[in-house]
Structure 1
Amino acid sequence: MISVDNISVLHGGHALFSDISFSINPNDKIALMGKNGAGKSTMLKIIAGATKPSKGGVSAPKDAVIAYLPQHLLTADDCTVFEETSKAFASYLSLKEEIDRLNEELTVRTDYDSEEYYKIIERVSEVSEKFYSIEEVNYEEEVEKVLLGLGFERPDFQRPTSEFSGGWRMRIELAKILLQKPDLILLDEPTNHLDIESIQWLEEFLTEKAKAVVVISHDRAFVDNITNRTIEVTMGRIYDYKAKYSHYLELRKERREQQQKHYDEQQRFIAETTQFIERFKGTYSKTLQVQSRVKMLEKLDIVEVDEVDTSALRLRFPPSPRSGKYPVIVEDLSKSYGDHVVFKNASMTIERGQKVAFVGKNGEGKSTMIKAIMGEIDYEGRCELGHNSMIGYFAQNQASLLDESLTIFETIDQIAVGEIRSKIKDMLGAFMFKGDDINKKVKVLSGGEKTRLAMIKLLLEPVNLLILDEPTNHLDMRTKDIIKDALKDFDGTLILVSHDRDFLDGLATKVFEFGNKRVKEHFEDINGFLRTKKLENLREVERSSK
């Protein structure tokens, strides 16, 4: 059992959380929930030993193995994918190398009665005991199995890690973690760079083979499929539920209703007591009663109602300038990189006001099609923007393009013009940047907060063609719902690349399926598309596209 004991974290005099304690038991699968900036990633780093709390600590058995996958990481560029992944067995392989070296030394030495000879024998015995206590493993087979599960292909194994994007490097780190068979796996947004087929493989691994797991994720389906316990971080404290995410939402609603009831009752009591004190504070016969009630109020523990992200402002995009009838026209479009064909003879016509989804496995051409529409790459065929098409583009790495030296307010103030300038604070508030938060530097924001801020920038200029590439990465579920509602009301044309079925549900009215080097058009929403194909979820869509 691993224990978190009375930890507190202070940032500039402000308590991120105070006196937090909980235990992580074998086979616990815990979702760490809370709004962006609540301290979830900080909590994970403390458990991993990557950072220290202001007070308290984490205790674990001496031989416990804790593996941590952060949101952002760096992988060395000096070896192949297979070599980097094999580092998971570094301690096992170093023991084997030492045994071989010592045995080789014993075979060439002839000083059998010397003290040094006996020391080597003792060391061989000691190292061999450690080595043979470890379950025998065919590490090459294990490395291969995990890499294939995470979407790598055999030719990738001998490619340098420097040739891979950040998302694929994250998979290499994830593979190393899974191969260590740790007692506790800590995962911070592990699905952000995985296609749905790889997410399914990870789900199966975590539920069937992993021991204890603590995960931060915005992916509702992923969290519900793997967890059996939910810990909510809110207002500097935690609430621990022995329930998966969907059940936790119901329990949280009940808890807040009870808190509100107790709060209202206490406020009535305070008002009545204060009224009594004011009425009789100069009356001699009531002096003792007045004093008693004053002391009672002084000792009263004020009931707090946990914050709920229910912004009164409904987020809206500015009205769209009218575009031509067909903002995007693609005919017989083909794209290859060397011998690798991404897609051939793809055609699509997107009408003004339509909201469409691009779905399919990573590498099948969704982002390539967007680059063609944006005019960022060469291609064969026709790809045209219609009359007066004005694009607002949100890339997967949009949050990383923010100027980290600016504050939240300065980031928006710098580019806001016209009437919107008077509504900057309202807009920031709608995206849950309130009070003193707006003076925070961008560099101290969490991944989700940066994504929210980058999304606000899209709202500042009128556009009529929104192209969003995985906009929900790093976002908490409440923020995701706010953005989804805003996109439903958007009166322009929308192209969405997403692996998130919950987000697409009720939003996209047409689906373009990318797979097998072609693009297939489906004239129905995401649920109709899945029913037509007799598929239960998007993971199966991606398997069928192989």
Structure 2
Amino acid sequence: MIRLDNIGKQNGKQILFIEASASLQKGEKIGLVGPNGAGKTTLFRMITGQEQPDEGQVAIDRGVTIGYFSQDVGDMAGRSAAAEVMDGAGPVSEVATELKELEAAMADPDQAGDIDAIVARYGEVLGRFEELGGYALDARAREVLAGLGFSQEMMDGDVGALSGGWKMRVALARILLMRPDAMLLDEPSNHLDLESLIWLEAFLKNYDGALLMTSHDREFMNRIVGKVLEIDGGALTAYSGDYEFYEQQRAINERQQQAQFERQQAMLAKEINFIERFKARASHAAQVQSRVKKLEKIDRVEPPKRRQTVTFEFRPAPRSGDDVVNLKQVHKRYGSRSIYAGLDFQVRRRERWCVMGINGAGKSTLLKLVAGATPPDDGTVTLGGSVKMGYFAQHAMEVLDGDRTVFQALEDAFPQAGQGSLRALAGCFGFSGDDVEKRCRVLSGGEKARLVMAMMLYDPPNFLVLDEPTNHLDMATKEMLITALAQYEGTMLFVSHDRHFLAALSNRVLELTPEGVHAYGGGYTEYVARTGQEAPGLRS
């Protein structure tokens, strides 16, 4: 369906692709992976014709329709979310537009002389509309939007009033409703809650077209793709299997290449040593010459290109008392909506609670109550003795001083720390080289989130309250964070839609449902085993 033949591409001084080739066949579901800046988005843009390769060609079979979802959704306003989604449904949406124009023409007195032709055309277009399933379009659009977490009210409201994250969901719904022959999805799992993520997973599994996607959610990637395409050092390499298989295979390949490299280096050292010892002796001239020629012909084995992996180790956090936080008879309302009515909840030292519930269940509100960011309407929230809290929320990024650089922000927060220590901290959270000189105002949302997290974790609290800490983190940074938090000796209360993060770090689950609040001993994995569901909103 889609072929990349010996493509070359350079952005400024950076070479992205060198004679790279790959293909996407009918029905294939491929995960596109590679370090940040490797060229994943550029590859999507070349397939859609938004950019051209410098060399080689992108070949697409005649008649193949392509739907491309990117993080850059543009401006949306003036229509309902449902209308915006239906507008992207391909031919049927064009036919629907013509139907509306013909209906207006039939009611226009100025066009009365052409009424026979208009009515005849209306009959043809109506037949085509029915043939394309036009009458089911609204229902299908609403089904997709509901799957992505929209209420009926949001579906009918002006899309311009939605936040950036919800507009992303509208843009994604447009592509899903279109059901093109090939979908290109750039980070579709961003901005989704767990219920929507699981719904999307099922949708994509049942989608019979070709799929090429990126995602920083390893569980999501694992369950959908049957092949992985890696961009590394300008080359495209395909691995048959899911993301986990790719990781294992890549590690095996690296070990084999390292062993080959070491064997060859030992052989070369031996040969060079012989040449150096005997090059001045006439009696060995023929042998020396023979070995020199042999060395010239040898194909050199390169050492494996190792991905830079960073680790972050917590300093020991001060010990808190056994009672970390206690909520008694807490009530919280927003307008006419009651979020909590008499909530009792206690967190003890070294417990790691993950909070689960559908959108609007009160997950972030609970974290705000515990962190003191919002007061209860009634009842008490009491922190225990010697508790030092670190609270990560998306709005925490607003406190960064836009004029300070990343490094200056870290220096301001930790004036006693050495430069080497702060540079290592910045590196752990994805700021290497010149990145530390970026001013905070030009940082992306993801970069701001990483900086705030670095500042919070360097001088560790003994109680971490984390609201979606993995949003915007790439897989490598996420793995680093999970590894670090697994060693953390303190207490945690967190919300996350990343199942790998949930399973790796929780030892308690607090489930918020319309029927009430339920606590489960054991972590997320045990919760799934006991309830038979990966998220509360999926109960049948």
- Give the alignment's TM-score, normalised by structure 2: 0.86
Structure 2 residue matching 1:254: 3-state secondary structure: helix
Structure 1 residue matching 2:380: 3-state secondary structure: strand
Equivalent in 87, 108, 131 of residue 112 of structure 2: 108
Relative to 1, partners in 2 of residues 1:180 and 1:455: Cα closer, same or farther, differing over 3 Å?
Answer: same
What is the CA distance between 1:457 and its match in structure 2? 2.3
Give the Cα–Cα distance (whole angstroms) in 2 for the partners of residues 388 and 127 of structure 1.
73
Q: Which amino acid aligns with 2:112?
A: V
Q: What residue in structure 1 maps to residue 23 of structure 2? A: 23
Equivalent in 329, 337, 340 of residue 332 of structure 1: 329
Relative to 1, partners in 2 of residues 1:269 and 1:195: Cα closer, same or farther, differing over 3 Å?
Answer: same
Give the Cα–Cα distance (whole angstroms) in 2 for the partners of residues 343 and 316 of structure 1.
37
Give the Cα–Cα distance (whole angstroms) in 2 for the partners of residues 211 and 399 of structure 1.
39
Give the Cα–Cα distance (whole angstroms) in 2 for the partners of residues 121 and 294 of structure 1.
88
What is the CA distance between 1:203 and its match in structure 2? 1.6
Equivalent in 86, 92, 97 of residue 94 of structure 1: 97
- Superimposed CA distance per residue, residues 87-121 of structure 1 (whole angstroms, 9 cap, x where no aligned partner): 22442323334555677899733799xxxx9xx99
Give the Cα–Cα distance (whole angstroms) in 1 for the partners of residues 80 and 182 of structure 2.
27
Q: What residue in structure 1 maps to residue 38 of structure 2? A: 38
Tell whether the 8 Å contact from 1:3 to 1:60 is kept in structure 2 after alignment.
yes
- Superimposed CA distance per residue, residues 318-373 of structure 1 (whole angstroms, 9 cap, x where no aligned partner): 33234444332211112222222223221211123322211122221111111222
Q: Which amino acid aligns with 2:193?
A: D
What is the CA distance between 1:211 and its match in structure 2? 0.9
Structure 2 residue matching 1:479: 3-state secondary structure: helix
Structure 2 residue matching 1:71: 3-state secondary structure: coil
Q: Which amino acid aligns with 1:108?
A: A
- Superimposed CA distance per residue, residues 284-314 of structure 1 (whole angstroms, 9 cap, x where no aligned partner): 4555654555565556444231324544xx4
Q: What residue in structure 2 maps to residue 348 of structure 1? A: 345
Tell whether the 8 Å contact from 2:68 to 2:175 is kept in structure 1 after alignment.
yes
Give the Cα–Cα distance (whole angstroms) in 2 for the partners of residues 267 and 130 of structure 1.
69
Give the Cα–Cα distance (whole angstroms) in 2 for the partners of residues 110 and 123 of structure 1.
11
Relative to 1, partners in 2 of residues 1:415 and 1:4: Cα closer, same or farther, differing over 3 Å?
Answer: farther
- Superimposed CA distance per residue, residues 424-464 of structure 1 (whole angstroms, 9 cap, x where no aligned partner): 23334445655566567778988766654443222333422
Greater shift, 148-157 or 296-305, is seen at: 296-305
Give the Cα–Cα distance (whole angstroms) in 2 for the partners of residues 126 and 241 of structure 1.
49
Q: What residue in structure 1 maps to residue 194 of structure 2? A: 196
Q: Which amino acid aligns with 1:219?
A: D
Give the Cα–Cα distance (whole angstroms) in 2 for the partners of residues 254 and 135 of structure 1.
50
Give the Cα–Cα distance (whole angstroms) in 2 for the partners of residues 135 and 296 of structure 1.
70
Give the Cα–Cα distance (whole angstroms) in 2 for the partners of residues 413 and 489 of structure 1.
26
Consecutive unaligned residues of structure 1, counting only runs of 5 or more, are: none
Equivalent in 374, 399, 402 of residue 371 of structure 2: 374
Q: What residue in structure 2 maps to residue 521 of structure 1? A: 519
Tell whether the 8 Å contact from 1:36 to 1:446 is kept in structure 2 after alignment.
no
Greater shift, 423-432 or 209-218, is seen at: 423-432
What is the CA distance between 1:396 and its match in structure 2? 3.9
Q: What residue in structure 2 maps to residue 254 of structure 1? A: 252
Equivalent in 172, 175, 187 of residue 173 of structure 2: 175
Give the Cα–Cα distance (whole angstroms) in 1 for the partners of residues 82 and 140 of structure 2.
11
Query: Counterparts of 1:135-284 in structure 2 under 5 Å?
Result: 136-284=134-282
Tell whether the 8 Å contact from 1:344 to 1:518 is kept in structure 2 after alignment.
no
Q: Does residue 68 of structure 2 align to residue 64 of structure 1?
A: no
Tell whether the 8 Å contact from 2:321 to 2:385 is kept in structure 1 after alignment.
yes
Relative to 1, partners in 2 of residues 1:101 and 1:523: Cα closer, same or farther, differing over 3 Å?
Answer: closer
Give the Cα–Cα distance (whole angstroms) in 2 for the partners of residues 204 and 502 of structure 1.
18
Structure 2 residue matching 1:88: 3-state secondary structure: coil
Relative to 1, partners in 2 of residues 1:344 and 1:310: Cα closer, same or farther, differing over 3 Å?
Answer: same
Greater shift, 279-288 or 469-478, is seen at: 279-288
What is the CA distance between 1:57 and its match in structure 2? 4.5
Structure 1 residue matching 2:21: 3-state secondary structure: strand
Query: Counterparts of 1:413-428 in structure 2 under 5 Å?
Result: 413-428=411-426
Relative to 1, partners in 2 of residues 1:22 and 1:302: Cα closer, same or farther, differing over 3 Å?
Answer: same
Give the Cα–Cα distance (whole angstroms) in 1 for the partners of residues 119 and 412 of structure 2.
72
- Give the alignment's TM-score, normalised by structure 1: 0.85
Tell whether the 8 Å contact from 1:266 to 1:303 is kept in structure 2 after alignment.
no
Q: What residue in structure 2 maps to residue 306 of structure 1? A: 305
- Superimposed CA distance per residue, residues 51-74 of structure 1 (whole angstroms, 9 cap, x where no aligned partner): 455544433235332222223534
Structure 2 residue matching 1:138: 3-state secondary structure: helix
Give the Cα–Cα distance (whole angstroms) in 2 for the partners of residues 401 and 184 of structure 1.
42
Q: Which amino acid aligns with 2:45?
A: K
What is the CA distance between 1:12 and its match in structure 2? 4.4
What is the CA distance between 1:487 and its match in structure 2? 1.0
Structure 2 residue matching 1:275: 3-state secondary structure: helix
Q: Does residue 381 of structure 2 align to residue 383 of structure 1?
A: yes
Q: Which amino acid aligns with 1:352?
A: R
Q: How many residues were matched structurally? A: 534
Query: Over the residues paired in the alignment, what is the CA RMSD in angstroms?
Result: 3.6
Tell whether the 8 Å contact from 2:8 to 2:16 is kept in structure 1 after alignment.
yes
Q: Which amino acid aligns with 2:534?
A: L
Relative to 1, partners in 2 of residues 1:206 and 1:448: Cα closer, same or farther, differing over 3 Å?
Answer: same
Q: What residue in structure 1 maps to residue 6 of structure 2? A: 6
Give the Cα–Cα distance (whole angstroms) in 2 for the partners of residues 422 and 111 of structure 1.
80
Structure 1 residue matching 2:77: 3-state secondary structure: coil
Relative to 1, partners in 2 of residues 1:442 and 1:188: Cα closer, same or farther, differing over 3 Å?
Answer: farther
Give the Cα–Cα distance (whole angstroms) in 2 for the partners of residues 441 and 42 of structure 1.
25
Structure 1 residue matching 2:140: 3-state secondary structure: helix
Consecutive unaligned residues of structure 2, counting only runs of 5 or more, are: none
What is the CA distance between 1:383 and its match in structure 2? 1.8
- Superimposed CA distance per residue, residues 184-224 of structure 1 (whole angstroms, 9 cap, x where no aligned partner): 21222222222222222212211213511112112222212
What is the CA distance between 1:403 and its match in structure 2? 6.8
Greater shift, 207-216 or 63-72, is seen at: 63-72
Percent identical residues: 35
Q: Which amino acid aligns with 1:523?
A: G
Tell whether the 8 Å contact from 1:95 to 1:131 is kept in structure 2 after alignment.
no
Q: Which amino acid aligns with 2:344?
A: S
Relative to 1, partners in 2 of residues 1:450 and 1:21: Cα closer, same or farther, differing over 3 Å?
Answer: farther
Give the Cα–Cα distance (whole angstroms) in 2 for the partners of residues 26 and 73 of structure 1.
27
Tell whether the 8 Å contact from 1:321 to 1:463 is kept in structure 2 after alignment.
yes
Q: What residue in structure 2 maps to residue 538 of structure 1? A: 534
Greater shift, 408-417 or 155-164, is seen at: 408-417
